[in-house]
Chains A and B, each alone.
Chain A
Amino acid sequence: MIKAILIFNNHGKPRLSKFYEHYTEDTEQQIIRETFHLVSKRDENVCNFLEGGLLIGGSENKLIYRHYATLYFVFCVDSSESELGILDLIQVFVETLDKCFENVCELDLIFHMDKVHNILAEMVMGGMVLETNMSEIITQAEAQTKMEKSEAGIAGAPARAVSAVKNMNLPEMPKNINIGDISIKVPNLPSFK
C-alpha cells in the first residue's frame, strides 16, 4: 500500500499532497515538513530510500523519493510494495506529467493541480497501484479532458465555471482566489490543435 504521495519543491513548499489515510491538517503539515527535512539534506548520489519510521504509521514504512529539477517526488509506502517498483512508478508518473504538460515544470503543478491529481488518480487509487502503463494512463486522461471539452462547448466552460464559483456564496472562502487564471488558462488547452 502507498500511504501518501507528496510533491514539494526545493524549499519545502508542497505542490501536491495525497494522503491515503486521514490525518489532521496539522499532522499533514508536520509530515510534509519533516519529510522535506529528511529528504532535502540528502546528497544527490545517495540511495532513494529512507526509513520513514515515525512519520506515517509504523516502522515498516519507507520513504521512496526522487528528485527532479526543483521538485521532490516522495512516496511513503509500506512493506508490501517493491522499492524498485515504486521508483519506476515515480518515473512513470513524471514522464506522464511530462507528456501531458509538454515539458512539465513546477508552474504546471501549481496552476493545474487538478490535472496532476487526475493523472495521479489514473495511476494510484486509494493507495494501490492501478495502472503502470504510461500510454494507457495518457489515453484515459485525455479522453476525460476531451469529454470536459465537449461538455463545455467552445467557450462556455470557463464562463460557467466562473459563474458557478461566484454563485457558490461561500462567506468564509478566501477572497484572494484568482479566478482570472481559470478563464485565461482553459481555452488554451491543446485539443484545439
Chain B
Amino acid sequence: MLGYDVSWAAFNIVEVMSSSKFTYKRIGYLAASQCFHEGTDVIMLTTNQIRKDLSSPNQYDTGVALTGLSCFVTPDLARDLANDIMTLMSHTKPYIRKKAVLIMYKVFLKYPESLRPAFPRLKEKLEDPDPGVQSAAVNVICELARRNPKNYLSLAPLFFKLMTSSTNNWVLIKIIKLFGALTPLEPRLGKKLIEPLTNLIHSTSAMSLLYECVNTVIAVLISLSSGMPNHSASIQLCVQKLRILIEDSDQNLKYLGLLAMSKILKTHPKSVQSHKDLILQCLDDKDESIRLRALDLLYGMVSKKNLMEIVKKLMLHVDKAEGTTYRDELLTKIIDICSQSNYQYITNFEWYISILVELTRLEGTRHGHLIASQMLDVAIRVKAIRGFAVAQMATLLDNAHLLTGNTQRNGICEVLYAAAWICGEFSEHLEDPMQTLEAMLRPKVATLPGHIQAVYVQNAAKLFATVLQKHEGETDSQVAQETSQLLIERLPLFVQSANLEVQERASCIIQLVKYIQKLQQKNVEVADEVTALFAGELNPVAPKAQKKVPIPEGLDLDAWINEPPSESESEDEKPKSKAVFAKEEPKHSRRHTEVDEKELARRREVRKQEQANNPFYIKASPSSQKVFDAPGVEHIPVVQIDLSVPLKVPGMPMSDQYVKLEEERRQKDKADKKKKDKKKKREKRGKGRKADSGPESEEDITPAQQVDIVTEEMPENALPSDDDDKDPNDPHKALDIDLDKPLADSEKLPVRTHRPEVLKSPAEDRENESIPQESKKKSSKEKKEKKKDKEKDRKRSKEEKKKKKKHKEVEEELMESQPEEAVQSEDTKEMAVPPTSAEEVTAPSSTAAVDTSSAAAAESEPDEPKDTEPEDTKSSKHKKKKQKKEKEEKEKKKKKRHHHHHHHRHHSDGGGEDSVQNGTVEDEEPLPPMSNYSLLAENSYIKMVYDIQGNHQDESKVVVSVIFENKSDSFLKSMEFNVLDSLNSKLQRPDGAGPHDGLTVPFQLPPGVSNEARFVFTVQSIVMPQKLKGTLTFIVKSEESSTHEKLDFKLHFTCTSYLITTPCYSDAYAKLLESGDLKGSSLRLEGVNMPFHHLLARICFHHHFSGALTSQRSL
C-alpha cells in the first residue's frame, strides 16, 4: 500500500474479508485489492468466501466482492467463479449488473475459455435498460474488440444503433473508438459511418467527443484509401476542426489536435502540409509535449523542397534548448527526419554531413553514437560524398580536443569513432593523410574510451598504408620513413592501454610497423603489400539479413547433434556475392522520362562506364535505373559548393550556406529545365519554400551530387515475409476467439456440483452393455470375478477364503472385507505418494473448490488417459475394489445416465456439465472400465449401490449418493434410510428430527426402476476410516398385500473417500517436491498381471487421486 509491503498481513486480510459485518468486509476487500496479486498464496483460501459474498442478499456485499475481485482475480478464481459472475450479470440490481459486466473482462483475460459462453449475455447487456450497465458492456466489448477486432465485426450494426441513439458521451466515445478499430477490417462500415460522424462533429459541443469523431473519421478515411470522390471534403473538415483545436488556447486541445493531425499526415500529407505555419509555430510553444508532437508532425511533412528549411529551423531550436532532454529529442528528430526512408528527401549530402558535424558541437548529448552511425552510414552508402566526408572528418579529428576537452561531453566523443573510421577506410580521399595520422596519434587520444582508441589504432594503420602508397614512388623515401618513425614513437602509448582490444591491436601494429621500417631501410617496396592488408570494401548489411537467411533444406536444428550435419548447411548460409543493389527510387524514374534523349544517352554512357569499373555490378539489370542519377557533371553546382566550403579552415563548416546555395542551384536547375521543355509550364518561384503543389514540383529538385545509395545487403535468397514483430506473449492473444460460432456443449462454464453427472444422449445410452442394474446377475458375477482378481492382486493370503465367501454371501463379505481394504488403500496410497501429492490431496473441508473445469484443465495432457476419469466421475468408492474395478469411463457415464433415465429429478444441477466429456484421445491401450458405485446392500427386493464424495463447498461434509434399485415385481414405497451415527460421522437430518430418526427417501420405486438419493454426513475427522451401520426400511406393496421389509447395511467411509482434487500447478508442485514433506514407501505386490498404468489408474480412480500422474509415471 502506497508502495509499502504489506504481504505479511495477507492472512489477516483474508480473515477480515470473511467477517460478517459489512464494515470489516469492505475494509478486508479494500486491503486485498491493494495488496493481493497472482503470487499471493492465501488467495486460494478466498474462493469460497468470495462466492458466498457474490451470492449475498446484500447488494453491497456483492459489490465490494466484485470490486475486490477485479483487482486480484487469478486464473483459478476466474475459472471457479466465472459462472457465479455470469449469473450476477442478470441480477435485478443495475448496481450489481454493471459491476458484474465489467469484471467479466478481467475474467476473460484470466480464463479465456469463459469468453464464448458468456458472450451472448454480454451482448444482451448492450441493450440493458440501465445506462450504467450499457456503458459497462460497451466498455468491455470495446476492450475486447480493440485487441481482436475481427471477431466483433458482427456487432457493428448493434453499435451503430447505439451510436445514433445514445446520448451518453462516454458511451459514444467508446463506441466511436471501437469503430475506429473496426473500420480497417470492413471498408463498407466506414462508408456508412462517415455521415453520422460528420453530423456528430458538426453538432456536438463536447470537445472530447468531437476529437474522437475526428479521430475515427481519419481512421475511416485511411481504411477507405482512395477512390471515394467526396472524402476530400471530410478530410478538409477534419483538418479544419483540428486547426481550430490547435489554435485553441487550451494546451490540451492543442496537443490532441497535433496528435490527430499526425494521423492524417500518414495518408493525406498534402492536407496537413498547408498548415505548416501553424505547426512550426507550435515548435515555439513553451510546452514540451506540444513541441514534441509538432516535431512528430514535421517528420511527415518534409519534402525534398522544404527539408533544408525545416532542419534549419530545428537547428535554431537546438541552440535554444541548451541542456534539456528536449534537445536530445530534437537531435534525434533531425536525424530521423533526414534519414527517413533511406535519405529520400536529402538532395545534398554535403549539407547533411555539415549538419551532422554541427550537431557534434552539442554539449552533453546522449546521442553521440547516433550521429556517429549516421556519419558512417552516409559515408559508406553515398559514394559520391566520401571525399567531402573524409575532409570533414579529418577536421573533426584535428579538433578532437574540442570534443573531448570536457568530461561532460563524453556522449559526443562517439563521433570520433566514426571520424577515425571514415578517415582510415577512405583514406585515399584524404588530402593530407600525414596530418590526420598525426592527429590520431596525439597523446590526448589515450583519454578516449577504449573502443574508440581501438578504432584509432586500427585506422592509424590504414592511414599508414595510404601514406606509404603515396610516397612509395618517390625517390626520396624520407616521408614514408618519418611516418614509420612516428608510429613507432606513438604506438607504445596504446600498448600500455588498459583496454585489451587497444593493447592487442597496438601491439600487432607496432610489430608490423617495425618490420616495415626495416624493409624500408633496405629500400624494399612494401606499400602494395601493406595496402593489401586493408583492401576490400565493407558494405553495409541489412539489420534483418541474418534473420532472412532461409533455413537451408535438410538443416534440422533439432536433429541429433552428433550426426553429421547435412551438406547444404554451411554453403547456403553465406551471402554469396556482394552485389550492390541500387536504391529504389520510383519517383525519379519518372523524372528520367522527362529528360530528353540526348541527355539519356549521355547518362547511359556514364553509367555504363561506372558499372564497368565497379566489380559489384555483376548483377546490373535494366532496373539499375534506380540509381539516383543527377543531371551530370556539367551542372556545376557541385563544384561551386566544393569551392565554397572552407575546407582548410580548422573549424566547422556552416550548414546554413548550403541552404542558400541550394536555393540558387534549384533555381538554376529550374531555369535550365524550363528552357528545355517549354511545354511544361512551371512557374519559377522566387522562393522554393512556397507551397508547390503536385509531385512535379518535387521532381524538379535534382540532387546536387551524383548519389548512389548503396542498399544494405541481404542474403541472396532472403525470405520476403516480414512478420517478425508479433509478440507471442500478449495475453490478449488468448482472447482471439470466434464469437459467432454457436456455442458447443463443451464450452459451457463450469458449474459447481456435488457430483459431475454426465448426461448422455439417448443414442449413446443405448449402447450400454454391462449395466449392473439391468442385468444384475451378470454384473454381480462379473463383480465377483473381478473381486477375485483384485484379491489375488492384493492379498494372496486371504484369497481363497474370500473367494468362497464371495460366491455365497456377497453382501456380508463386502462389509467385512472393507476394513482390510482400508488398510490396503492406505498402502497403495503411500505407494503412490508422489502422484498424490501432485494433486494436493485435500480434505473436503478445503475451501478450494474443484469442479469439472479442473478436469478440463487436466485434459490438456493429452496422453494421460486417466486424469479425467477420477474427476469426471469424482466419486468415492469402497467396494469398487471388489466390484468391477474398471469400467470404461464412458460406460460409467452411461450407467449414471441410466439412473437419471429413471428419474430426472437429480439432473437439475447437472445441467452444464458435459463440459468435461473428456476429449482425451488415448493412444495407449484403453483402460478397462471403472465404476464409482459400489454395492451397499442387496436383498430380493432392493439393491443399493453407493458412492461417497467430499463436498466442495461445505466444509466437513461428505455426500453419500445411494442408488436404490427395485428388483422385485412389487411397488416399493415409504423407504426410510437410517444410520446409526458414530462420534465421528453423523447423518444430517432435517431440523427438528431426533438423532435416531430416519430420513425418508424422497421417492417411490415402481418395479424394475432405480433412483438415486443423496445423504449428507458431517464428519469430524477425516483421518479415521469409519463404518456406519444403517437400515433401510420400506414397504413392499404388491397388488394384494403390503409388507414391511428392512435391509441392513454398513456404510464404509475410507479415508480416501474424503479426498477431493484440487489443481496443483507446476510451481506449487515444485515447492512440494522441494519441501521434503513427501514420503515414499513401497510394498511389493505379487501376481499383478495388469499393465502398470491400468493399476495406477485404478488406484487413482478409486481413491480420488487425479491429474498430473503422467509425469510421475514416466519418471
Q: Is B70 an interface residue (CB 8 A)?
A: yes
CB closest chain-A residue, reference B71: A126
Q: Are A82 and B60 in contact (CB under 8 A)?
A: no
Q: Are B21 and A151 in contact (CB under 8 A)?
A: yes
A residues within 8 A CB of B1003?
none
Pick the interface stretch among B1-9, B115-123, B396-404.
B1-9
Say which residue of A129, A144, A152 sits within 8 Å of B139 (CB atoms): A129
Q: Is A51 an interface residue (CB 8 A)?
A: yes
Q: Are A83 and B256 in contact (CB under 8 A)?
A: yes
Q: Are A17 and B2 in contact (CB under 8 A)?
A: yes
Which positions 124-139 of chain B face chain A at CB distance < 8 Å? 132, 135-136, 139
Q: How far is the CB of A67 from chain B (nearest CB, A)?
A: 13
Q: Are A85 and B252 in contact (CB under 8 A)?
A: no
CB closest chain-B residue, reference A22: B37
Q: Are A80 and B146 in contact (CB under 8 A)?
A: yes
Q: Is B99 an interface residue (CB 8 A)?
A: yes
In the complex, A50 Cα to B251 Cα: how many Å?
12
Contact (A130, B98) CB under 8 Å given A87-B252, A114-B27:
yes
A residues within 8 A CB of B58?
147
Which positions 109-161 of chain B face chain A at CB distance < 8 Å? 132, 135-136, 139-140, 142-143, 146
Say which residue of A18, A45, A128, A147 sits within 8 Å of B143 (CB atoms): A128
B residues within 8 A CB of A42?
287-288
CB closest chain-B residue, reference A7: B2
Pick the interface stretch among A68-76, A97-105, A168-176.
A168-176
Contact (A88, B70) CB under 8 Å given A14-B2, A25-B4, A32-B3:
no
Interface string of B200-232 (1 = CB under 8 A from A): 000000011001100000000000000000000
Which positions 262-285 of chain B face chain A at CB distance < 8 Å? none
Say which residue of A22, A47, A117, A128 sits within 8 Å of B254 (CB atoms): A47
Q: Is A10 an interface residue (CB 8 A)?
A: no
Q: Are B23 and A82 in contact (CB under 8 A)?
A: no
Q: Are B9 and A46 in contact (CB under 8 A)?
A: no
B residues within 8 A CB of A32?
3
Q: Is B1069 an interface residue (CB 8 A)?
A: no
In the complex, A18 Cα to B31 Cα: how many Å?
11
Contact (A46, B103) CB under 8 Å given A84-B208, A84-B256, A85-B170:
no
A residues within 8 A CB of B255?
47, 49
Q: Are A128 and B71 in contact (CB under 8 A)?
A: no
Q: How far is the CB of A104 from chain B (nearest CB, A)?
A: 18
Interface string of A56-94 (1 = CB under 8 A from B): 000000000000000000000000101111011000000
Q: Are A84 and B207 in contact (CB under 8 A)?
A: yes
B residues within 8 A CB of A173?
8-9
Q: Are B173 and A29 in contact (CB under 8 A)?
A: no
Say which residue of B37, B60, B71, B287 sits within 8 Å of A147 (CB atoms): B60
Q: Are B136 and A144 in contact (CB under 8 A)?
A: no
Q: Is B95 an interface residue (CB 8 A)?
A: yes
Say which residue of A29, A85, A126, A151 sits within 8 Å of B23 (CB atoms): A151
Q: How far is the CB of A89 from chain B (nearest CB, A)?
A: 9
Q: Are A144 and B37 in contact (CB under 8 A)?
A: no
Say which residue of A15, A80, A130 sits within 8 Å of B177 (CB atoms): A80
Q: Is B624 an interface residue (CB 8 A)?
A: no
Contact (A22, B38) CB under 8 Å given A47-B287, A125-B70:
yes
In the complex, A171 Cα to B287 Cα: how many Å?
51
Q: Is B289 an interface residue (CB 8 A)?
A: yes
Contact (A130, B136) CB under 8 Å given A125-B70, A143-B60:
yes
How many positions in chain A have a CB within 8 Å of any CB in the partner chain? Answer: 56
Q: Are B212 and A47 in contact (CB under 8 A)?
A: no
Q: How far is the CB of B54 from chain A (nearest CB, A)?
A: 14
In the complex, A18 Cα to B70 Cα: how many Å?
12
In the complex, A50 Cα to B389 Cα: how many Å?
39
A residues within 8 A CB of B67?
121, 125-126
Q: How far is the CB of A12 from chain B (nearest CB, A)?
A: 11
Q: Are A82 and B252 in contact (CB under 8 A)?
A: no
Interface string of B94-111 (1 = CB under 8 A from A): 010011001101100000
CB closest chain-A residue, reference B6: A25
Q: Is B423 an interface residue (CB 8 A)?
A: no
Say which residue of B16, B26, B139 sits within 8 Å of A128 (CB atoms): B139
In the complex, A49 Cα to B5 Cα: how many Å?
30
Q: Is B66 an interface residue (CB 8 A)?
A: yes
Q: How far is the CB of B212 from chain A (nearest CB, A)?
A: 6
Q: Are A148 and B30 in contact (CB under 8 A)?
A: no
Q: Is B534 an interface residue (CB 8 A)?
A: no
Q: Are B142 and A45 in contact (CB under 8 A)?
A: no
Q: Are B170 and A129 in contact (CB under 8 A)?
A: yes
Q: Are A47 and B290 in contact (CB under 8 A)?
A: yes
Which positions 15-60 of chain A face chain B at CB distance < 8 Å? 15-18, 20, 22, 25, 28-29, 32, 42-43, 45-51
Q: Is A161 an interface residue (CB 8 A)?
A: yes
Interface string of B1-41 (1 = CB under 8 A from A): 11111001100100110000111101100100110011100
Say which residue of B30, B95, B135, B292 sits within 8 Å of A114 (CB atoms): B30
A residues within 8 A CB of B139?
128-129
Q: Is B286 an interface residue (CB 8 A)?
A: yes
In the complex, A1 Cα to B4 Cα: how many Å?
24
Q: How far is the CB of A158 from chain B (nearest CB, A)?
A: 10
Say which residue of A46, A51, A85, A144 sits within 8 Å of B173 (CB atoms): A85
B residues within 8 A CB of A20?
71
Q: How far is the CB of A22 from chain B (nearest CB, A)?
A: 4
Q: How far is the CB of A44 from chain B (nearest CB, A)?
A: 10
The residue among A87, A128, A131, A148 with the most chain B CB atoms within 10 A of its own CB is: A128
In the complex, A50 Cα to B22 Cα: how many Å?
40
Q: Are B22 and A151 in contact (CB under 8 A)?
A: yes
Q: Are B3 and A128 in contact (CB under 8 A)?
A: no
In the complex, A28 Cα to B22 Cα: how many Å?
30
A residues within 8 A CB of B70?
125-127
Extra pairs beyond A84-B252, A172-B8 (6, CB < 8 Å): A47-B252, A47-B287, A47-B290, A126-B71, A126-B105, A128-B143
Which B residues form the contact surface with A (CB < 8 A)? 1-5, 8-9, 12, 15-16, 21-24, 26-27, 30, 33-34, 37-39, 58, 60, 63-64, 66-67, 70-71, 73, 95, 98-99, 102-103, 105-106, 132, 135-136, 139-140, 142-143, 146, 169-170, 173, 177, 207-208, 211-212, 251-252, 254-256, 286-290, 292
Q: Can you list 5 A-B pairs, Cβ within 8 angstroms, ordered by A?
A: A16-B2, A42-B288, A47-B289, A127-B70, A147-B22
Which A residues form the contact surface with B (CB < 8 A)? 1, 14-18, 20, 22, 25, 28-29, 32, 42-43, 45-51, 80, 82-85, 87-88, 114, 117-118, 121, 125-133, 136, 140, 143-144, 147-148, 151-152, 157, 161, 164, 168, 170, 172-173
